[in-house]
Amino acid sequence: MENNTKKQVFTPEVMEKIARLEVRARMVVEGLLDGFHRSPARGFNVEFLEHRQYYPGDDIRHIDWKVYARSGRHVIKQYEVETNLQARLLLDSSASMDYGAGTGSGSKLEYCGVLSAALAYLMLKQGDAVGLTIADGGAGKHVEPVAARGHLYRILGAIETTDAGGAAGIAEQLRRLGETLKRRCILLVFSDLLEEPEPIMEQLKWIRGRGNEIALFHVLHEDEAGFPFTRAARFVDPESALKMIADPTAVKSAYMKNLHDFIDSYGEFCTRVDIDFVSTVTSTSPEETILRYLKKRDRRKRK
């Protein structure tokens, strides 16, 4: 893939936005690290290594209870630090991601941009290589993985120069991205998933089957998650332009059931193929969303 950011020249206005996003990402990570002090979750770059005998004073959270159930022995899981970890961030920028723009919590794209920036900041801080793909329904925008600290500004620049628009294209970008992966990596996907689920699931399963680790962040605006509307209104699909006039009180029950079924189907799929699935809303703090993910990842790694 071509590194599109090599050709970018940022205006002073864009540079100011990048600086604000960097500060936001740093604040999220600082809050996240504070959360680590109250949580058993580990960061990204640890892998299980071996067992050793438990000794009084060891943290009992690290006891392997499965071994105890089989043998009656108390042993501790030891970990080693991974080296040369590579992460790929895939950010949905389709038209539906613009919902919420101008509100207190911001749009879904803005929220996912903060999640992406914070996780890129955290991983680059650990010395990992991070790359970014913007899924815009077309060829996409790509920043190839690099481990240098200064690489963060290329990623932030790509995020801040992206506007929501066009049709959804996560499945196609997953297909293209999967074909370019030369080594195993962590793939982090940020999307409202408002396109047909089967092609997305098919591509995720294919990429996971090649040994890559995947986390899927499903992000909705609180209006979409709670459907608080009470007056008859015209609802418009921003990607297909399909319009529907409806009484919210008459359709809310069916809408909420369909939404819960949709989220449950993704959750069940991700559990089945060993993908970390985090469904959240834009009113949730980015720190809380990322910490939920890291706790899930930690539990999976300990199994």
Confidence at residue 269, expressed as pLDDT on a 0 to 100 scale: 98
Please state, in angstroms and rounded to a whole number, the distance separating the CA atoms of residues 87 and 126: 12
Do 15 and 145 share a domain, yes or no?
Answer: yes
Do 13 and 30 share a domain, yes or no?
Answer: yes
Confidence at residue 275, expressed as pLDDT on a 0 to 100 scale: 96
Q: Is residue 274 part of a domain?
A: yes
pTM: 0.81
Residue 7 half-sphere exposure toward CB, CA atoms < 13 A? 5
Confidence at residue 26, expressed as pLDDT on a 0 to 100 scale: 83
* One-letter amino acid of 233: A
Do 190 and 167 share a domain, yes or no?
Answer: yes
Do 179 and 123 share a domain, yes or no?
Answer: yes
Confidence at residue 152, expressed as pLDDT on a 0 to 100 scale: 93
> Any bridge partners for residue 91, and if so which?
134, 190
Do 76 and 87 share a domain, yes or no?
Answer: no
Confidence at residue 58, expressed as pLDDT on a 0 to 100 scale: 61
Where helices occur in the chain by DSSP H, the ranges are: 12-36, 65-71, 108-125, 152-160, 170-180, 197-209, 222-226, 248-273, 286-302
Q: State residue 278 phi and psi, 5-degree precision.
A: -125, 110
CB 169 within 8 A of CB 137: yes
Confidence at residue 1, expressed as pLDDT on a 0 to 100 scale: 47
Please state, in angstroms and rounded to a whole number, the distance separating the CA atoms of residues 154 and 7: 11
Do 146 and 278 share a domain, yes or no?
Answer: yes
The count of domains in the chain is 2
Do 175 and 60 share a domain, yes or no?
Answer: no
Element housing 190 (H / E): strand 186-191
Q: Which residues of the chain have pLDDT under 70?
A: 1-10, 32-59, 76-84, 303
Q: Torsion angle of alpha carbons 243, 196, 267, 273, nearest 10°?
A: -170
Do 62 and 175 share a domain, yes or no?
Answer: no
| Cβ-proximal residues to 204 (8 Å cutoff; 6+ apart), any chain | 174, 189, 214, 216, 269, 270, 273, 275
Q: What is the CATH number of the domain that holds 122?
A: 3.40.50.410
Do 98 and 201 share a domain, yes or no?
Answer: yes
- From 269, 279, 222, select the one nearest 104 (Cα to Cα): 222
Q: Is residue 232 part of a domain?
A: yes
Do 280 and 198 share a domain, yes or no?
Answer: yes
Do 240 and 277 share a domain, yes or no?
Answer: yes
Confidence at residue 208, expressed as pLDDT on a 0 to 100 scale: 95
Q: Is residue 90 part of a domain?
A: yes
Confidence at residue 2, expressed as pLDDT on a 0 to 100 scale: 44
As a whole number of Å, the end-to-end CA separation of the chain is 35
Please state, in angstroms and rounded to a whole number, the distance separating the CA atoms of residues 143 and 8: 11
Do 208 and 65 share a domain, yes or no?
Answer: no
Q: Is residue 41 part of a domain?
A: no
Residue-number span of the structural domain to which 68 is assigned: 46-81
